[in-house]
A and B are shown apart, each in its own frame.
Chain A
Amino acid sequence: MSTIDPMDIFRAEAAELLEQIEQGLLDLEHQLDDRAQIDSVFRGLHTLKGSGAMFGFDALAAFTHHCETAFDRVRKGLTPATTDLVMAVLAARDHMRALVDDPNGDHAAVGAELLRKLQDAVAGGSGQPAAAAPIAEAPKSFAVDETVPPATAGKDDGSELHRWNIRFSLPRDTMVNGTNPLALLDEMRDLGEADVRVDLSRVPPLDAIKPTELYLSWIVTLTTDRPRADIEDVFIFVMDEMTLELEDLGPVGATETIPVAAPAEIAAAAATPIAVPVAVEPIHNAASAADKTSPAAGAAATDAKAHRKAESVRVPAERLDELMDRVGELVIAQSRLTQIAGSSLDTQLRTVSEEMERLCSELRTTMMVLRMVPVGTLFERFRRLVHDLQRDTGKTIELVTAGETTEMDKTVIERLADPLVHLVRNAADHGLESPEGRRAAAKSEIGRVTLSARQVGGEVIVTVADDGRGIDRDKIRAKAEASGLIPTGAALSEQEILQLILQPGFSTAATVTNLSGRGVGMDVVKKTVESLRGTIDISTRLGEGTTIALRIPLTLAIIDGLLVRVGKGRYVIPLPAVEECLELSLEEDLRSRGRSFLSLRGSLVPFIRLREIFSTGTKPDPYQKIVVVSTGEERVGLVVDQIIGDHQTVIKSMSKLHDDVATFSGATILGDGGVALILDVANLVAAGREQEAQLRATA
């Protein structure tokens, strides 16, 4: 059993923190007084610094410390959040990423420059030098405290000494994540007189302990004049996942009260393994309720975040892939068992086989769900892209996202990233008009790019839409004819014309000014989407905008297929592409020699004799079948020797040694252990199209 490398955990954690920091900064840029985001950025920086130091990323820790200090000042109201500051920290955040990726590289010069900018930003905002004021030296009363209403009656001035009974336990992965619980305890001691007692009752014996996890919890009796919010503030970095019980034992004064938690009771709790009752109250809610300085919007944002951070387990992706492989093998073994049971008279065997089949199917479904991640994780990256595009294009662009909770297979999401970058960039660069252009067209100066996702049946449709100038079909046609992509005057549907922009040959041209650039990389988009067994729909209205929809099947790993035989080989045709199956009559066969077209309800459909292109060297079966497949609008008939039947297929990729074979998109293992290749329908349809073009040319 492999163990997880703590460094990998740190890198994964750092990536998430950097993401959190970036998102927070981008939000702040729009609303500079957003308390929730200021806290979020500060927390991110603080945790990154701590984890970095713990895992030996000293340069990262040192650099991040300065940004954290700056944000601590913002948080305490000593320095206002300004656009300059946000930009400076945003730049610094990119540098942190470099420090994570390459901790031993020479980054000093860049770092120094960034820090200088950061200092300028802080000094510019507050009118005082940004000398890194350590947190401990910060003034005792924070500006924000004045607006915090007293959480408990009887401490209006907040200066009265109260005794608090605090019990808390931290998430199991606290230590791995680099948070040092001792620092929290020290912070609590800073608040007043603290009596700290550890609770060992949840520490398991040696053979059951995961030594990197935290089982300790603490009971603290604190005597302080600080308000509840200050105590909660101690836990600001971990509060999303911890449990905290905060009990006000009342004022300490003339009537000295004995703490409720008597020492004897604590000792008993520590000695015997009795679970200490802990009120599972996410401190988080209390904090946002107390934080009246932020308007409802801020609170809503934090709530949404809490929702997103629902309890989860971090699993390395390759383990999921391994598990998927095992499930795949199980499905294969199961289909063998079904075969054997089917030909057996043993009813008990049949019953067991059916039960296994049900379980396998459920396991498969569960497995699929495990691999699903919300597409929002992908969308978040685009806010930065649009932010940069605004700067580069001089256009004001609003990015609207919708359907972030739509889930897709993890691998699919990763592979969609690049195509979507192309599409969003194109929409911003070329789809949207200049501000003057928009004014002239009586549109809002703010161009809008919408990124959305929704699930329809077995597909997820990811859409990139802009409200720009739209695509001129006539110009595309002219361009395609000029470049020889299509014959002059070819009869093409509107969709067919639009699809031309996806062709590799259809590149930028001065004559198509409003499209320049759209050709670049679009063939890459097409290729990627097709490799995901997806399709692209384009719709556009002149002057109103363009929408490009990527229709992607929900999962890559398992498809339903039609198993056929050609010569001695067995092949799988993805079922969603199959339109119908026909018999190729002898006369049709003879008549079509040299032509290979089939008249199907009045329209001509090209057909491909797979036996010929596969060079099987066998005699055709007397009654050949035609499987008609399509990719939306185009169709092609595939002539096969035999249709074996439906087959649920676990897709295995082919090695790089077979990269040059475009006819197949993968392979699968059959019930008898043999291998069947999966036909790439898009490729075969293209081959059919060529055949058709040849025929038209010679006709």
Chain B
Amino acid sequence: MMNLATELSTPPWRDDGELEALTFDIAGETFALEAAIVREILDLLPETAVPGARAFVGAVVNFRGKVIPLADIRLAFGMPSAEATIDSRIVVVEVEIEGTPTLVGLRTDKVTEVLTLRKSDSEPPPRVGMRWPTELIECLIKCGTSVIIFPDLRAIFAANGRKTSSEADIIRHPKS
């Protein structure tokens, strides 16, 4: 299957091929997101479950007087959820969802550091051998001996469970 969502949004590399990124751990893997979309890193907050919502956005939290959804990448990637630890943090990012800038909290096991990533170190996710769905991953970035996963938030928020959004993508990019 062609990964349409990836074509829509590659990491916004700067002209010099670099990118400031915040790295964090989930389920033993290191993830990165462009630092520019990160609004805040929070300790865990009391969560309010939203009955009937898709599992990976099953709760909301009070973020400075705003009610924002809390997303769990583990669940989006089809992994079992995990108990919070003393290192668990919420990374608040601002992403565009269906044209509306939206604040979303991401559950992470641990926030590590801000790194400068290089485009030359990146490669598309391999078709096979990944434990996670590749269409939700933007690219992999080699960093020393480890590999950092750059998730595709847009695909994650669009794809998980709602057909309408992914259909819309296909309409915008017909396979000619």
A660 at the B interface (CB under 8 A):
yes
B115 interface residue per 8 A CB criterion: no
CB closest chain-A residue, reference B51? A614
Q: Which A residues touch B161, using CB under 8 A?
A: 660
User: Is the pair A657, B51 in contact by a Cβ cutoff of 8 Å?
Assistant: no
- Complex Cα distance, B53 from A664, in Å, reads 10
User: A663 to B52, Cβ gap below 8 A?
Assistant: yes
Whether A613 and B60, one on each chain, are in contact in the complex, defined by CB atoms closer than 8 angstroms, is: no
Nearest neighbor of B70 in chain A, beta-carbon distance: A657
- Expressed in whole angstroms, the Cα–Cα distance for A76 and B97 within the complex equals 56
Q: Does A673 contact B (CB under 8 A)?
A: yes
Among the listed A655, A664, A674, which residue makes an inter-chain contact with B104, where contact means beta carbons less than 8 Å apart?
A655
Q: Is A656 located at the chain interface by the 8 A CB criterion? A: yes
Q: Is the CB of A613 within 8 A of B51?
A: yes
CB neighbours of A329 from chain B (8 A): 65
For chain A residues 619-667, which have a beta carbon within 8 Å of chain B? 652-658, 660-664, 667
Whether A325 is near chain B, meaning CB under 8 Å from some CB there, is yes
Q: Which residue of A lies closest to B56 (CB)?
A: A657
Structural contact, A656 and B67, CB atoms closer than 8 A: no
Question: Which A residues between 305 and 352 are near B, CB-CB below 8 angstroms?
Answer: 325, 328-329, 332
Known: A654-B60, A674-B62, A675-B62. A660 touches B54 (CB 8 A): yes
Contact B65 A676 (CB under 8 A): no
Interface set, chain B 52-91, CB cutoff 8 A to A: 52-54, 57, 60-62, 65-69, 71
Bound: A658/B56 CA distance, A: 11
- Using A657-B57, A657-B102 as known contacts, say yes or no to A615 and B66 having CB atoms under 8 A apart: no
Q: How far does the Cβ of B67 sit from chain A's closest Cβ, in whole Å?
A: 4
* In the complex, A669 has a CB within 8 A of chain B: yes
Taking residues whose C-beta sits less than 8 angstroms from the other chain, chain A's interface range is 20 to 34
Would you call B67 and A652 a contact (CB within 8 A)? yes
A56 sits at the interface (CB 8 A): no
Give the complex CA separation of A677 and B49 in angstroms.
9
CB of B48 within 8 A of CB of A674, answer yes
A657 and B52 contact, Cβ closer than 8 Å, known pairs A669-B65, A669-B67: no
> Which residues on A sit within 8 Å (CB–CB) of B52?
613-614, 661-663
Name, among B48, B57, B98, the residue most crowded by chain A CB atoms within 10 Å (CB to CB). B48
Q: Which residue of B lies closest to A566 (CB)?
A: B51
Q: Does A569 contact B (CB under 8 A)?
A: yes
Chain B neighbourhood of A668, CB < 8 A: 67
Whether B62 lies near A655 (C-beta < 8 A) is: no
- Neighbouring B residues of A675 by C-beta, 8 Å: 46, 48, 60-62, 67
Chain B minimum-CB-distance residue to A650? B65
Do A660 and B53 have beta carbons less than 8 Å apart? yes
Q: A667 touching B100 by the CB < 8 A rule?
A: no
Q: Is the CB of A655 within 8 A of B97?
A: yes
Q: Are B162 and A658 in contact (CB under 8 A)?
A: no
A5 to nearest B CB, angstroms?
19
In the complex, the answer to whether A664 meets B50 with C-beta atoms within 8 Å is yes
Using A332-B65, A673-B62 as known contacts, say yes or no to A657 and B71 having CB atoms under 8 A apart: yes
**Which of A570, A615, A656, A669 is most buried by chain B, counting CB atoms within 10 A of its CB?**
A656
- A676 to B52: give the CA distance in the assembly, Å: 15
B157 adjacent to chain A (CB < 8 Å): yes
Contact A656 B98 (CB under 8 A): yes
Contacts of B100 in A (CB 8 A): 655-656
Q: Which of B114-167 contact A (CB under 8 A)?
A: 157, 161-162
Known: A656-B97, A656-B98. A661 touches B65 (CB 8 A): no
> In the complex, are the beta carbons of A654 and B57 less than 8 A apart?
no
Within the complex, what minimum Cβ distance (angstroms) separates A331 from chain B?
Answer: 10
Closest to B162 in A: A660
> Is chain A's binding surface mostly helix, strand, loop or mixed?
mixed
Residue of B nearest to A653 (CB): B67
Residues of B within 8 A of A654 (CB): 50, 60, 67, 69
Instruction: Identify A674's interface contact among B46, B53, B54, CB under 8 A.
Output: B46
> What's the Cα separation between A569 and B54 when bound, in Å?
17
Q: How far is the CA of A601 from the CA of B65 in the complex (A)?
A: 43
Report Cα–Cα, A69/B65, bound state, in Å.
54
Q: Which of A655, A657, A673, A677 has the most CB of B within 10 A?
A: A657
Determine which residue in B49, B157, B161 has the highest number of CB atoms from chain A within 10 A of its CB, and name it: B49
Instruction: Report the minimum CB–CB distance from A272 to chain B (whole Å).
Output: 50
B135 → chain A, closest Cβ, in Å? 18
Taking a contact as CB atoms closer than 8 A, the residue among A570, A655, A663, A673 that contacts B51 in the complex is A663
Cβ A669 vs Cβ B162 within 8 A? no
Interchain nearest-CB distance for B71 vs A (Å): 7
B104 adjacent to A615 (CB under 8 Å): no
Determine the distance from Cα of A329 to Cα of B104 in the docked complex, in whole angstroms: 20
Shortest distance from the beta carbon of A632 to any chain B beta carbon, whole Å: 25
Least CB distance from B97 to A in Å reads 4
Chain A residues whose CB sits within 8 angstroms of the CB of B104 once the complex forms: 655, 657
A-chain residues with CB within 8 Å of residue B162 when the two chains form the complex: 660
Is B65 within 8 A of A658, CB to CB? Answer: no
What's the minimum C-beta distance from A672 to chain B, rounded to whole angstroms?
Answer: 9
- In the bound complex, residues from chain B placing their C-beta under 8 Å from that of A568 are 49
Among B46, B61, B65, which residue has its beta carbon within 8 angstroms of that of A328? Answer: B65
* Complex contact B53–A661 (CB within 8 A): yes
Contact B50 A655 (CB under 8 A): no
Provide the bound-state CA to CA distance between A360 and B93, in Å.
Answer: 32
- A:178-196 near B, CB below 8 Å: none
Residue of A328, A614, A655 contacting most chain B CB atoms (<10 Å): A655
Partner pick for B48 among A325, A328, A569, A657, CB 8 A cutoff: A569
Report which of B48, B57, B157 forms a contact with A676, defined as CB distance below 8 A.
B48
Q: How far is the CA of A668 from the CA of B68 in the complex (A)?
A: 11
B residues in contact with A656, CB < 8 Å: 97-98, 100, 102
Closest B-chain residue to A656, C-beta based? B97
CB pair B60 A667 closer than 8 Å: yes
- Indicate which residue in A613, A663, A673 contacts B46 across the interface (CB closer than 8 Å): A673
* Cα–Cα, bound, A351→B50 (Å): 38
Known: A664-B50, A667-B60, A673-B46. Contact between A657 and B65, CB under 8 A?
Answer: no
Complex interface: chain A residues within 8 A of B67 (CB): 652-654, 667-669, 675
**B57–A677 CB distance below 8 A:** no
* Chain A, range 430-465, C-beta contacts under 8 Å to B: none
Residue of B71, B98, B161 with most chain A CB atoms under a 10 A cut-off:
B98
Some 8 contacts from A to B, beta carbons below 8 A apart, are: A570-B48, A655-B97, A655-B103, A658-B53, A661-B52, A667-B67, A675-B61, A675-B67
User: Which B residues have a C-beta under 8 Å from some C-beta of A?
Assistant: 46, 48-54, 57, 60-62, 65-69, 71, 97-98, 100, 102-104, 157, 161-162
Given contacts A658-B69, A668-B67, 14 further A-B contacts (CB under 8 A): A332-B65, A570-B48, A613-B51, A655-B103, A656-B97, A657-B157, A658-B57, A658-B60, A660-B162, A661-B50, A664-B50, A674-B62, A675-B61, A676-B48
